[in-house]
Amino acid sequence: MERRKLYRITQPDFRGFSHTTWDGQVVTTPADNVPIILWPDGRWCLDANVYMQQLYGRGLSRRNKGGTLLTYATQITHLIHFCYRNHIDFIDLTDNEFTLFIKSLQGERRADAALKRGANSVIAIGRVCLDFLACVGRFHGENDFVGQKGQIRGHRRSFVVGNSRSTNKGVVKTYWHHRAFPTPDTREKRLPISNTNIKKLRDAILDASSSIYLRKRRYTMMTLLEITGARRSEVADLTVQSVHEAAQMKEPQLKFETGKRGGNRTKTRLVPVSRIDVDSLLEFIEKNRRTVIRRTCGIENDGGYLLVNERTGKRLNANTITQEVAMLRNSAGIDEKACAHMFRHRRVTKLFRALIEQHNLENVDDFRRALLDVESIKREVQQWTGHTNVASLDVYIHLAFDEITNFRKTIDGVMAVNAIESARRQIEQIREEMKAELSPYEASRQLTALINAISDDLKALTDTTPERL
C-alpha cells in the first residue's frame, strides 16, 4: 500500500551522530524535529535522508515541528512518489523524465477539476527537487549530475537583494532553474488586513467559542496579532514571564523570540505595547490561563507559554493560530482573505506610513535630505518587526528616513494612536462579554482599570525627563 505522507518527525529527545573522539567515544547532537523520510512502501529512503542530514548541517530551522526542514521534506516527496511509481532510481533519472515530472505537477487536478497548484508552487517544488538531485549526484560521486551539461539540465541563477543607494552593495542570492519550469504567475501583493475585517473577526469570537477560556484566549490571540505585528510562531512562543516583565517597565515592551533565524538560533526583540494591553494580558493569565493549568498539566509541569491548549495546558501550536483565524473568518462570513500574517503586514505598514506622513508634513526639503541614508531608520524599525534582513522591509515601504529627523516624535505619535485603539478594543470586548456572563460590577471594575491604564500610557508619552530623552 502506497503512503501519501512520507515523513515522520523525530521526538524531542532524539539525538543524531556528530563524530567519534580519538578514544572511540561516540558524540551525539540534538536532532529533534528532523523529518525522517520513507519510500511510499515504508522503506527507509537513503538518498532523501542524506539530503535532510545535509540541510540539518546547513542549519535550516526545525522549530515548530520541523520548520524549514519540513518544508523541504514535503517538497521532495513529490519527486519520491514520481520515481517510486515509475520504478526509477534517483541517480538514473534523465532530463526528459524530470521534465515529465514537472509537467505532471502542473497538470494535477483536484476533485473539483481545478488545478491543484499554480505555476509558482510548481517552480518552488522544482527548485527544491533540483537541489535534492544535486545532493544525490554528489552522494553517488556524480558532481555534474545536475548542471547545464549534466544528466539533469538544471542550473543556478543569481540576483541581488538589498542594493543600497549609498554603498551600491547588496546580498547575492542564487536559485535553481530548469527549462521545464512554467512561466511564473504574477505574485499577488498580500494587503494588510482591514479594520472592518478585524472587527468582524472579533465580533465572531463570542458565538464561535464553546467555553469562557476559549473566548478569552481568542481575544488575547487577536490582541497580540494586532498590537505587535509578530509572526504566528512568535505569538505561540510568547511567555507569561515576558508579560510580567513588561508590566514592570515604565514603557511596557513584550519580549519575543524572533522567528526565521538560520541555524536554529534564537534572538529576542522588544516590541512596545500599551499599558492597557499589558493589563489585559495579566488578567487573562490570572483568571483564565491559571485555571486551565491547574486543571490539566499542573503548575509543576507548566511550560510557561501564554497561549495554551484548553485540554492539555501545553503550548498552542503555531498552526492552531492559523486555524483559529480561518475559523473566525468563516464564522464572520468574510469573503476576502484574512490570515494571521496579514496582521503583521498591517502593523508594519502602519508604522512606515506614520513615518512617511510625519516627514512629508513637516518639511519637504528635510524629507528629501533624509533619503540620503535609507538604512538607519530601517534598522530602528527592525527591532519592532523582527526582520533579519533589512532589505526585506522594502515590501512595506520603498523609502526610509534618517533616524534623527523627528523619529522620536513620530514613534510617540504611533504609540499614542496605539493606546487609543487599545482602549477602544477593550471597551468593545467588555460590551460583547456583557452579552454573555459579565456582571455590571465586573464591567465597572474593568472599565476603571482601563481608565487607569490609559492615564499611565498618556503620562508615559508626555514624560520629558532626561531618561526618556
Residue by residue, what is the 3-state secondary structure of 310-372? CCCCCECCHHHHHHHHHHHHHHHCCCCCCCHHHHHHHHHHHHHHHHHHHHHHHCHHHHHHHCC
Q: Are strands 268-272 and 253-257 parallel, antiparallel or unpaired?
A: antiparallel
Beta bridge partners of 254: 271
**pLDDT by 10s per residue, the chain, length 469:** 556 789 998 888 888 888 888 888 888 888 888 999 999 999 999 999 999 999 988 888 877 777 889 999 999 999 999 999 999 999 999 999 999 999 999 999 988 888 999 999 999 999 999 999 999 999 999 999 999 999 999 999 987 765 544 445 566 788 999 999 999 887 666 677 888 899 999 999 999 999 999 999 999 999 999 988 888 889 999 999 999 999 999 889 999 887 655 555 567 888 888 888 899 999 999 999 999 999 999 999 999 999 999 999 999 988 899 999 999 999 999 988 899 988 887 877 776 666 555 545 344 344 334 433 445 555 555 555 655 554 555 444 433 333 334 444 455 555 555 666 676 677 777 667 766 666 666 766 676 666 666 666 655 555 543 333 2
The residues, ordered by sequence, that sit 6+ positions from 430 with a Cβ below 8 Å of its Cβ are: 438, 443, 446, 447, 450
Range 195-462 classified under CATH 3.20.20.80: no
pLDDT value at residue 341: 87
The continuous run of DSSP H or E covering 17 comes out as strand 15-20
Candidates 222, 98, 111; CA nearest to 151 is 98
In sign, the C-alpha dihedral spanning 281, 284, 286, 291 is negative
Beta strands in 152-218 (DSSP E): 155-161, 171-177
The residues, ordered by sequence, that sit 6+ positions from 403 with a Cβ below 8 Å of its Cβ are: 376, 377, 380
Query: How far apart, in Å, are the Cα atoms of 59 and each of 203, 264, 311?
Result: 42, 6, 34
Other residues' Cβ atoms within 10 Å of the Cβ of residue 254: 25
The pTM (predicted TM-score) of the whole model is: 0.65
pLDDT value at residue 352: 65
98 in Cβ contact with 76 (< 8 Å): no
Going from N- to C-terminal start, the domains of the chain cover 7-177, 195-462
Question: Where does residue 331 rank: exposed (0-12), middle (13-18), buried (19+ CB within 10 A)?
Answer: middle
The continuous run of DSSP H or E covering 381 comes out as helix 375-385
CA 390 – CA 405 distance, rounded (Å): 20
pLDDT value at residue 209: 92
pLDDT value at residue 58: 86
pLDDT value at residue 159: 78
